[in-house]
Amino acid sequence: MNCPSINVRSSRLALLLLLLCGLHWAFAAKLVKAQETKVNGRPNTPSQTAGERPPHPEPPVLQEQPPKKGHRERGSLVAAPLPISSPALGSGIVPVLAYIFPVSTTDKISPPSVVGAVGLVTDNGSRAIALGGETYFKQNTYRTTAIYTRGNLNYNLYGLGSGDSQPKLPLKQTGQLVFGEFLRRTWWKVFLGPRFLWGSSLITLRPNNLEAIPLPPDLGLNTNLTAVGFRLIRDTSPNRFYPTAGTFLDFTADFFSQGLGSKYSFQSYKFNFNKYWGLTPNQILASGSFVCFTGGEPPFYGNCIYGTDSQLRWYTAGRYLDRYMFGTQLEYRLALPKRFGLVGFGGLGGVVPGGNQLFRTKNFLPGGGGGVRFELSKKYHVNLRIDFAQGKDSHTWSVGVGEAF
């Protein structure tokens, strides 16, 4: 299925209700770098046939509000009502509102902070809203993140592993999530600190000819998930909204336990590493690699979900999920005059259940594509992006705010 994503370092509400209501905690670590919607193109579907170009949405209304005269400038307001059209979610709109600002106008070291909101409304009955913020303060000594999400999503479950090999199960998932994180800068530009997640959800079956499709074990039951964990980040890029040099390292560990009130006891570990090269003043080469591992006995939405967090954009989030996930991608970025830009990207990844299947080539999911950029905020170099991508069994287009990674 296709869903929006929102984040600060790479595009993340990925798999919106598996994040909003299914409690996929990876989203909770990010807020407003990118809001993304995807449209999955599959051969021989009523809405789009093989070889047919995806539809072009009407350009969203984008605004960067200047400060009023007589007032000291503090930040930039970015608004973007993004379209969404998906065979799974239907057609609708994903409104995004974000304010980028310094916590203190006398603090010249801390990166800009972000507060914002994102919603989801589609014609298949999906509704969701997320509110949150990420702040930097005290000369870049502390970083806090807080997020609250609530809503419902109608989507299709394809099961573990390769989703294309299994029939889809139509589900409706409702719920809410609360996430908090507090990080302190330690040595070598490393931020380290605790995080907490609490959420509840209810999964019900939508009307359909089920045949012999296996049902999730927690269908029709209210499910609580509670986790404590920690996060380690090292970011040496000069601009987190448009990195032109440096590296970004991110490791998270979340521990869900019945002793904390969680229905399931399991562990989630995620590692991301991005590197950026400034080839010329207007040309950037970016690489991103990631690994995910899930231990214990997670619910289906607690596994590693391929296609979220812009990992990788040419696959619909949720079609492939399993205990292990890996991937790597490379992107070339070219800034053009008049606020425009172009990108080209490609990569390889996969999901596997583990054991001796970890490095089998049949598990690989390659893809690539390209896109255009338009600069929304000159002050922070925040771009609107439109990407077109092709995987081995589908193609997508996406609209977002901020770079993919």
- DSSP characters for 62-107? -EEEPPPTTS----EEEEEEEEEEETTTEEEEEEEEEEEE-S-TT-
Strands (E), 213-313: 222-235, 246-256, 266-280, 283-296, 304-305
The mean of the pLDDT values for the chain is 76
Distance CA 343, CA 130 (A): 29
C-alpha closest to that of 392 among 363, 356, 371: 363
Q: What is the pLDDT of residues 128-145, one digit of tens each?
A: 999 999 999 999 999 999
pLDDT band at 387 (very low <50, low <70, confident <90, very high): confident
Higher pLDDT, 312 or 179: 179
Torsion over CA of 351, 352, 357 and 358, rounded to 10 degrees?
60
Whole-number pLDDT of residue 54: 43
Spatial contact of 177 and 20, defined as CB atoms under 8 Å apart: yes
pTM attached to this predicted model: 0.74
What are residue 294's DSSP bridge partners?
Answer: 268
- Give the pLDDT band of residue 4 (cuts 50, 70, 90): very low
> Which two tokens mark 107?
């603090």
Residues in the chain: 405
122, HSE (Cβ side, Cα atoms, 13 Å)? 27
What residue has token string 């000291």? 72
Alpha carbon distance 124, 106 (integer Å): 48
- How far is Cα 67 from Cα 105, in angstroms, rounded to an integer? 14
| Alpha-carbon span 302 to 321, nearest angstrom | 9
